Amino acid sequence: MAAKLKKGDKVVVLTGKDKGKTGEITKVLPKENRLVVQGVNVVKKHQKQTQAQEAGIRSFEAPLQISNVAYMDPTDGKPTRVGFKTLDDGRKVRFAKRSGEVIGDV
């Protein structure tokens, strides 16, 4: 099955401590049903010193459940669902169900 959300898509967080925040998908983990969104779900981790890395507290974006984010509609910036349709020329594309606008090829 084709992925409804892909790397580079703009999304809105629907639930959790970062509810309402928007960002771009930087990484998709399909086997775990998770994705990483830039600037969202930032956590701090205490890092023990290694040969390669210095000790200290580092911040990074933790993965979110795919069900907790929605695609941001390109027309009004509100959350929307993503659908698939076949165009007249035979290409299968994703589209925003809220506005009907084509997002891009699958």
- Predicted confidence at residue 61, as pLDDT, reads 96
- Per-residue pLDDT band at 48 (split at 50, 70, 90): very high
Task: Tally Cβ neighbours within 10 Å of residue 36.
Answer: 19
Closest CA to 61 of 80, 89, 41: 41
- Predicted confidence at residue 38, as pLDDT, reads 97
Whole-angstrom distance, CA of residue 45 vs CA of residue 102: 40
Mean pLDDT for 22-26 is: 97
- Predicted confidence at residue 2, as pLDDT, reads 63
pTM for the model stands at 0.87
